[in-house]
Amino acid sequence: MNTPNDLSYKYLQFKEHGSYRRYIKKEVSKQSPPGIPVENVPLNVQSHGSYGALLFHPNWKAKRKEILSRDMDRCVHCKSNKDLQVHHRQYHFIASQQKFRLPWDYPDHLLITLCESCHNKGHNKYKVPTITL
């Protein structure tokens, strides 16, 4: 089976949410990576798209746990300990590979802990910068 590096995804801007951006699978109608029958693709890829599936990967889970611990399991903005999420302060597009950096490959200083409410408010108010490498 293909590794997460082989999954194809792209970055789209949703106009109804202002500057909120999200990774999605290139071809939504085809919910499996090239050459893999849909029945052999893990459920999280089928239901969450390629980027969403990466958030279930053990590497992301380990990185997320590290960032939550660093931030003392609290939102860095409102100090809540409910519904915590790890936010990328910027996204990196690797031009030579024509894809985005994997979620766990970012330096720690670009990741912060936010509660779901602060995370949503931030995405609605601010554009997350995308850096081309």
Q: Check: CB of residue 2 under 8 Å from CB of residue 36.
A: yes
CA neighbor of 21 nearest in space, from 100, 109, 112, 110: 100
Start-to-end CA span in the chain (Å):
28
Q: For the chain, 133 residues long, give each residue's pLDDT as a single digit of tens.
A: 334 443 334 434 333 333 334 444 334 333 445 555 545 555 444 444 577 888 888 999 999 999 999 999 999 999 999 999 999 999 999 899 888 899 999 999 999 999 999 999 998 998 889 999 9
- Report the predicted TM-score, pTM, of the whole model to 2 decimal places: 0.64
- For the chain, give the number of residues: 133
Please give the backbone phi and psi of residue 7, each rounded to the nearest 5 degrees, phi first.
-70, 135
57: tokens are 């990967």
Q: Spell out the domain ranges in the chain.
A: 4-132
Measured distance CA(91)–CA(3) in Å, rounded? 20
